[in-house]
Amino acid sequence: LLVESGGAVVQPGGSLRLSCAASGFTFDDYMMHWVRQGPGKGLEWVSLISWDGTKTYYADSVKGRFSISRDNTRNSLSLQMNSLRTEDTALYFCAKASGYCTGASCYPYYGLDVWGQGTTVTVSS
């Protein structure tokens, strides 16, 4: 089970931190994703983090503004969002990854197999 929280209404240029609480599986065995869906739009992949937090990957649209992290002692995933723009308005999902990591990279080859229900972020003045 994945439960997101932290969504809110924020002004352009502001910051927000999303959280995702995981249960029902061994959290530190898995990579984790953030995915978003803007109003009336399709799915957009946002970010991925390795099982141990040492490797992170981002969509070009959020690189340098968003930061993914995890706390395996608390079974928790986070997304720190800075310099928010109106186009960041979306429903944000966390999802469990199926794949593996090597020393060089992570390979989430087998899809996102568990999803939360999402938390809504609205960026508006």
Partner 1 sequence: QLTQSPSSLSASVGDRVTITCRASQAISNYLAWYQVKPGKAPNLLIFAASTLQSGVPSRFRGSGSGTDFTLTISSLQPEDLATYYCQQLDRYPLTFGGGTKVEIK
Closer to partner 1 by CB, 109 or 125: give it.
109
Q: Residue 32, SS3? A: strand
Is residue 28 part of the contact set for partner 1 (CB under 8 A)? no
Residue 48 sits at φ, ψ, to 5 deg, of -140, 145
Separation between Cα atoms, residue 83 and residue 65, nearest integer Å: 6
End-to-end Cα distance, the chain: 34
Q: Quote the least distance from Cβ 74 to partner 1, whole Å.
A: 22
Interface map 61-100 toward partner 1 (x if CB under 8 A): --------------------------------x-x--xx-
Separation between Cα atoms, residue 62 and residue 82, nearest integer Å: 9
Q: Which residues bind partner 1 (CB under 8 A)?
A: 35, 42-45, 48, 57-60, 93, 95, 98-99, 107-113, 115-118
